[in-house]
Structure 1
Amino acid sequence: MAETQGKGGQPPAPTGSKMRVDKWLWHARFFKTRSLATKIVGAGHLRVNGDKISKSSYGIGEGDVLTFAQGKQVRVIRVVALSTRRGPADEAQRLYEDLDPPKEAADNVPQTPSAAPKFDGKGRPSKKDRRILDQTRRSMLD
């Protein structure tokens, strides 16, 4: 039986196998370097199927759900496939399924007073700053 080959001639990882979690996060391009992925996992900021993981050598497989912080957002990811190399972005996106809620819902949230511009009184506010200030005042009166 012929084995399908991915871009670059690399065969896909065998089904049912395990892979180090730090290596997979790097392959899937969630972190720029493998050592950064190792640091996040080692600090205990990763959950696999709801269990807190602190060893970067922990083995993950297809179907596992990973939860971790990336920047200012929490990512919830289902592992779809394992890889043998760190390929281009479109190849990396095929390794996981994003379980996060759509971003559009967050964009429709009205601005709160904490979202007011940091105008410190030096000079005139820009037109954008004035609009945000007006919105903030109106929402406080309602």
Structure 2
Amino acid sequence: MQVVKEFREFAMKGSVIDMGIGVIIGTAFGKIVNSLVTDIIMPPIGLLLGKVDFSNLYINLTNTPYRSLAEAKEMGAATINYGMFLNSILHFGIVAFATFLTIRQINKIRRTPGASITSQQCRYCFSTIHTDATRCPNCTSMLVENKQKSYSSPKITFKAS
């Protein structure tokens, strides 16, 4: 029963739930990108390359000729579907580029220009403290040399008589 309890605690953590939501959204995004590649991008490329339908490009490994990939698949023929592979490579490229643009935007949002750093790390106890602090509140170490005028006691000299 301990394993079930540990698994339930693990599954209910926020990061696991966020990851699950990311997978679901990623699957839906994958379908959109797949449609973008097969229905919008590849037809004009095929037209430019001489009215070629990339999804129908294949190498027939049998001696029987077929008019299309669908007909060859229907008959159970062994084929190498390099057109579908080209579509998959383009699909991957688009997903990678879209991911890059998304992460780039997130990083721009995180970096606020002109934001000043308001904390530093104590070099003695490694706690986080304000940048204007001259003494660490945790370990009481001096952080910067005192730049104020130091008043020392007057020098007293004694003369021997």
TM-score higher than 0.5: no
More helix by share: 2
TM-score, normalised via structure 1 length: 0.18
Larger-gyration structure (1/2): 2
TM-score, normalised via structure 2 length: 0.17
More strand by share: 1
Higher RCO (C-alpha under 8 Å, 6+ residues apart) = 1
